Structure 1
Amino acid sequence: MVGIRETRRLPYSAEQMFDLVADVAKYREFLPWVIATRVRSDSDTEMLADMVVGFKSIRETFTSRVMKTRPSQIAVHYVDGPLSDLDNVWTFRAIDDTSCEIDFAVDFEFKNRVFQAIAGQYFDRAFRKMVAAFEMRAGELYGNNSSSAHNVA
């Protein structure tokens, strides 16, 4: 299984970051490689969503169950698609009313060993690009105060 974890301190509230991450329907607007999303069902605590990701001529659809615990955690569990497994967890810890610490961890495994080997080589760069996309989106939505954003780990 390939995995990575990053902790960041951001100049946005835990509620703001929770809302940004929970808004799966908007991912195609700002996340690299996300072509489309479809939210099948959504409540305050649980969502079932499909995401189409692609790069060049490769397109794959993933279905995930998203468990939401406002404002502290979003846990994504793999339901169906080209992987054997996918888990990612966002944890939001308020520092004060206007800043928070975010911990993001993701683990995945492809069914196809060749894809797994290729993904392992590029995953770190792709992960960092996605984290940066969430930070940029927060700046667009809540005001750009990224000078105080930094790695904690």
Structure 2
Amino acid sequence: MPKFEATRRVSHTPEQMFALVADVESYPQFLPLCEALTVRSRKERDGRTVLLADMSIGYKAIRETFTTQVLLKPAENTIEVKYIDGPFKYLSNVWRFEADGVGCTVRFFIDYEFKSRILGAVMGTMFDRAFRMFAEAFEKRADVIYGAAPRVQG
């Protein structure tokens, strides 16, 4: 049920932003709610990489872990996340990075629903806030990794 979509212009290249989002092991260092992330498997095929990853999220006394399949498509500057197991009924997430001349446009989309209405009520509001902070968290991380660049309007 909850969906969130954001479009943001950043001062970094599509390739830089793709690499940053693809580096899932670093998420606990900077991503809101993410406490741990473990890549269970990594397979290369046809110029794409498929990861199976466990992400642990937490808010106050609540901790949950869920498993996703992450499909990295560098030729398309796209990352697709599919839900495998955990506290959700479903979760689908897509990142797209499009060159715009000065930097790139980052498109973020997520659609999810918790299995438990109680968990959804407790975590839902925090998740919504966290997703709104994701784009900014990744942009700040890009500035740390690649160096701050003048901000792009948009």
Tell me the TM-score normalised to structure 2 length.
0.89
Q: CA RMSD in A?
A: 1.6
Tell me the amino acid that sits aligned with residue 82 of structure 2. Answer: H
Unpaired segments of 5 or more residues in structure 2? Answer: none
Q: Look up the match of 1:33.
A: 33
Shift of 1:118: 4.0
Q: Look up the match of 2:2.
A: 2
Tell me the amino acid that sits aligned with residue 90 of structure 2. Answer: D
1:114 equivalent in alignment to 2:118 = yes
Q: Look up the match of 2:17.
A: 17
- Whether the 8 Å contact between 1:10 and 1:101 is mirrored in structure 2 is yes
Moved segments of 4+, more than 3 Å: 117-124
Q: How does 1:138-149 map to 2 (within 5 A)?
A: 138-145=142-149, 147-148=151-152
Q: Look up the match of 2:87.
A: 82
Shift of 1:35: 1.0
Tell me the amino acid that sits aligned with residue 119 of structure 2. Answer: F
Q: How does 1:53-92 map to 2 (within 5 A)?
A: 53-71=57-75, 72-92=77-97
1: CA distance, partners of 2:142 / 2:150: 9
Shift of 1:120: 4.2
Tell me the amino acid that sits aligned with residue 128 of structure 2. Answer: D
2: CA distance, partners of 1:118 / 1:33: 13
Shift of 1:119: 4.2
Unpaired segments of 5 or more residues in structure 1? Answer: none
Shift of 1:116: 2.4
Q: Percent identity?
A: 46
Distance 1:114 1:146, change over 3 A: farther
Q: Look up the match of 2:103.
A: 99
Tell me the amino acid that sits aligned with residue 68 of structure 1. Answer: L
* SS class of match (1:127): helix
- Whether the 8 Å contact between 1:4 and 1:107 is mirrored in structure 2 is yes
